[in-house]
């Protein structure tokens, strides 16, 4: 498939390479949640409203009975701060951002103008007016919900900033943004899981899009570099070549063998091949088949059972 930068087709990559990028982002989110759980597993029970309760409540015993890993170290800190909730909302906002980017790709790929994929009817809806349309509502709503969860984080942060130590009635407002974020994520995550699991990808359409000869301009410049041309010069020469071809109504596919040789590139026509281009990207984390398979194995290990 054509990979893109600045929302413009750039170089050939593979679908797996693209999906692995989303996978790595989500694996970091999982790591953030695991880190948060360690800090969150502290019981505040027994801190009282300011000083530790004198009613005979044993904070350590209640923490153990409630399944917490530890107990507060300072009663004033325990009743004054809500950073554990703030951190959760920070995690939620980052996760929602990553989900919104996945949703944006689903919406783009399934645009009939591109035709690279199709959402299952269970995750798309018909138009209220135009019978021929099926809209990517799941993806669009996932994008919109990211703004809502980010707003929850901002709400709690604004609530907490500037509060003096000690319990303040303002703190009762901590529940609503947290519960809203939890409920929203509990809706968005399974919806996107289902949308991705049932997505029908048209690999033939993606491969056909890789026939665009402009996708191989970087391969041409790199071939010049391998022939001893400094990259800056190779970049300039390739750009000038493309401009001349555009003026003539031609593309890189129209160059003859002699014209390729005149540009200092032997067998240049062979460069205009997606399989060859992708296979040459053998660096760690790249789109070559071996690299992507290694990423899949690493992701499987990172995600665990």
Catalytic residue IDs? 6, 127
What is the spatial distance between Cα 209 and Cα 130, in angstroms, rounded to a whole number?
Answer: 28
Helices 137-160 and 175-197: angle between axes, nearest 10 degrees: 160
Residues in the chain: 305
Q: Which residues are CB-neighbours of 271 under 8 A, at least 6 positions away?
A: 216, 219, 220, 223, 265, 277
* Helix 175-197 with 83-109: angle, nearest 10 deg: 30
Surface-to-core class of residue 134, CB atoms within 10 Å of its CB (0-12 exposed, 13-18 middle, 19+ buried): middle
Q: CB of 101 within 8 A of CB of 22?
A: yes
Residues 141, 94: Cα–Cα separation, whole Å: 16
DSSP code at position 14: -
Tokens of 43: 């019981």
Q: What is the DSSP string of 38-107?
A: HHH-EE-TT--SSS---SS--HHHHHHHHT-SEE-S-HHHHHH--HHHHHHHHHHHHHHHHHHHHHHHHH
């Amino acid at each position: 498939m054509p990979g893109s930068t600045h929302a413009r087709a750039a170089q050939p990559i593979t679908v797996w390479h693209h999906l692995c990028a989303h996978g790595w982002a989500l694996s970091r989110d999982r790591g953030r949640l695991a880190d948060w759980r360690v800090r969150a597993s502290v019981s505040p029970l027994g801190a009282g409203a300011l000083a530790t309760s004198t009613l005979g409540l044993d904070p350590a015993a209640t923490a153990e009975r409630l399944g917490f890993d530890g107990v507060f170290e300072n009663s004033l800190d325990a009743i004054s701060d809500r950073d554990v909730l703030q951190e959760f909302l920070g995690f939620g906002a980052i996760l929602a951002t990553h989900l919104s980017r996945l949703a944006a790709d689903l919406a783009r790929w399934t645009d009939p103008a591109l035709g690279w994929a199709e959402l299952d009817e269970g995750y798309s809806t018909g138009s209220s007016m135009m019978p021929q349309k099926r809209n990517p509502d799941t993806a669009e709503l996932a994008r919109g919900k990211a703004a809502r969860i980010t707003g929850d984080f901002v709400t709690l942060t604004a609530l907490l900033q500037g509060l003096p130590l000690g319990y303040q009635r303002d703190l009762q407002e901590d529940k609503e943004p947290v519960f809203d974020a939890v409920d929203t994520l509990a809706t968005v995550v399974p919806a996107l899981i289902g949308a991705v699991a049932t997505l029908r990808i048209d690999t033939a359409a993606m491969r056909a899009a890789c026939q665009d000869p402009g996708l191989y301009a970087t391969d041409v410049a790199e071939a010049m570099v391998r022939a001893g041309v400094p990259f800056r010069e190779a970049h300039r020469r390739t750009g000038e070549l493309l401009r001349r071809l555009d003026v003539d109504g031609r593309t890189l596919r129209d160059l003859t063998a002699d014209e390729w040789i005149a540009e200092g590139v032997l067998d240049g026509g062979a460069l205009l091949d997606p399989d060859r281009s992708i296979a040459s990207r053998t660096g760690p984390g790249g789109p070559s088949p071996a690299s992507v398979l290694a990423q899949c194995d690493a992701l499987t290990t990172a995600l665990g059972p």
